[in-house]
Amino acid sequence: MAVYVDNYFKPARVRNGGRWVTAEWCHLQADTREELDAMADAIGLRRSWIQFPENPVKRHYDVTRPRRAAAVALGAIEIGMLDLARLRSQWRRELEARESETTQQNETTDQQPTGPERKED
Percent of the chain with pLDDT over 90: 72
Of 5, 65, 7, 9, which Cα lies nearest the Cα of 35?
Answer: 5
Could you read off the pLDDT of 31-77 as tens digits, one per residue? 999 999 999 999 999 999 999 999 999 999 999 999 999 999 999 99
- Closest Cα partner for 107 from 118, 116, 115, 99? 99
Any domain includes 36? yes
In a domain, 119, yes or no: no
Contact 4, 35 (CB under 8 A): no
Q: How many CA atoms lie within 13 A of 51 on its CB side?
A: 11
Q: To 10 degrees, the CA torsion angle through 41, 46, 52, 56?
A: 10
Is residue 120 in a domain?
no
Q: What is the pTM of this model?
A: 0.76
Residue 105 domain-assigned?
Answer: no
Domain of residue 36 covers: 3-98
Count: domains in the chain: 1
**pLDDT for the residue numbered 77:** 97
Whether residue 1 is predicted with pLDDT greater than 90 in this model: the reply is no
Decide if 116 is inside a domain: no
Inside any domain, residue 117: no
